[in-house]
Amino acid sequence: MHMLTAQRRDVLLARLRDDGRIVAKDLAAELGLSEDTVRRDLRELAAAGLCQRVYGGALPASPAVADYAARRTVGVPSKERVAAAAAALVTRGSTVILDGGTTALAVARALAPDLDATVVTHSPTVAAALVEHPRVEIVLLGGRIFKHSAVACGAAAVEAAERVSADLFLLGVTGVHPTAGLTTGDADEAAMKRTLARRAADTYVLASAEKIGAASPFTVLPLAEVAGVVTDVDPADPTLVELAAAGVTIVPA
């Protein structure tokens, strides 16, 4: 049966939603289409922000790559649950690097009011939220502000980060996927996150529901390099089952 373009795209989106990935060669054979047709449809879906193309096919695109203002309304209850669980990882007297982004901001607000710790961040909004914690020492890393995520990036920020040694890094990403790993939407931001991860003994990923099973263009870290993923997604979710089978520690929120 000849499929119209709109029908093909509906099938592709349904397969992404149900299987969490598309292998272009396999799907083309299954639907009786040319691989070129499937790849063209995937290019068009990617241009519309509906998938993330990868070698051989596509993965679900993360909604978390929207700008900072838009992200404040995405998955708020999930972010708050993840933030509460991540805040519990912060121990008295420790030095913690707290990433930028809306989930990290929720972590800052979830920290115990009497917490005595040092928090290093490259996010002015996170630093401002921590002013309300009288016993938290705040170290703000400066540099060029990347307005999309409201964080400092660039050479000056990297240089400042390289002088830090921390116990813990709470890392924000836009995608957590078993094969794509940990990803985000900007190359410079990904590089800054890698720099921060190298400065901490342990890195935990802040993974609210919309990030699980999704992918973005730029790799931050392989999953093997983090201590765990903090998420409120059901442990029976296929992506989490796959992550756990690969040896990734899941911290329930």
Residues 149 and 175 reside in one and the same domain: yes
Give the pLDDT confidence score for residue 15 in this predicted structure: 87
Residues 86 and 104 reside in one and the same domain: yes
Residues 158 and 225 reside in one and the same domain: yes
Residues 193 and 224 reside in one and the same domain: yes
Does residue 247 contact residue 208 with C-beta atoms inside 8 Å?
no
3-class secondary-structure state, position 53: strand
Q: Which of 24, 44, 61 is the last residue of a domain?
A: 61
State the Cα–Cα distance between residues 146 and 229, nearest whole angstrom: 25
Give the pLDDT confidence score for residue 68 in this predicted structure: 53
Residues 50 and 79 reside in one and the same domain: no
CB neighbours (10 Å) of residue 202? Answer: 14
Residues 31 and 102 reside in one and the same domain: no
Taking only Cα atoms into account, the Rg of the chain, rounded to an integer number of angstroms, comes to: 19
Domain that holds residue 9: 5-61
Domain count for the chain? 2
Residues 49 and 74 reside in one and the same domain: no
Residues 210 and 127 reside in one and the same domain: yes
The domain that contains 187 carries what CATH number?
3.40.50.1360
Give the pLDDT confidence score for residue 2 in this predicted structure: 58
For the entire predicted model, the pTM comes to 0.83
Q: Where are the beta strands (DSSP E) in 77-189?
A: 95-98, 117-121, 136-140, 144-146, 151-153, 166-172, 175-177, 181-184
Residues 57 and 132 reside in one and the same domain: no
Q: Which of 61, 79, 97 is the last residue of a domain?
A: 61
3-class secondary-structure state, position 115: coil
The domain that contains 55 carries what CATH number?
1.10.10.10
Residues 157 and 233 reside in one and the same domain: yes
Q: Count Cα atoms within 13 angstroms, Cβ side, for 43.
A: 6
Residues 27 and 96 reside in one and the same domain: no
Residues 56 and 105 reside in one and the same domain: no
Give the pLDDT confidence score for residue 1 in this predicted structure: 46
pLDDT in tens, the chain (253 residues): 456 777 888 888 888 888 888 888 988 888 888 888 888 888 888 888 888 888 888 888 877 665 555 555 555 788 999 999 999 999 999 999 999 989 999 999 999 999 999 999 999 999 999 998 999 999 999 999 988 888 999 899 999 999 999 999 999 999 999 989 999 999 999 999 999 999 999 999 999 998 999 999 999 999 999 999 999 999 999 999 999 999 999 999 9
Give pLDDT tens digits for 119-141: 999 999 999 999 989 999 999 99
Give pLDDT tens digits for 165-197: 999 999 999 999 998 999 999 999 999 999 999
Does residue 188 contact residue 161 with C-beta atoms inside 8 Å?
no
State the Cα–Cα distance between residues 215 and 180, nearest whole angstrom: 7
Q: CA 227, 229, 232: angle at the middle one, nearest 5?
A: 150
DSSP single-letter state for residue 4: P
State the Cα–Cα distance between residues 5 and 149, nearest whole angstrom: 35
3-class secondary-structure state, position 151: strand
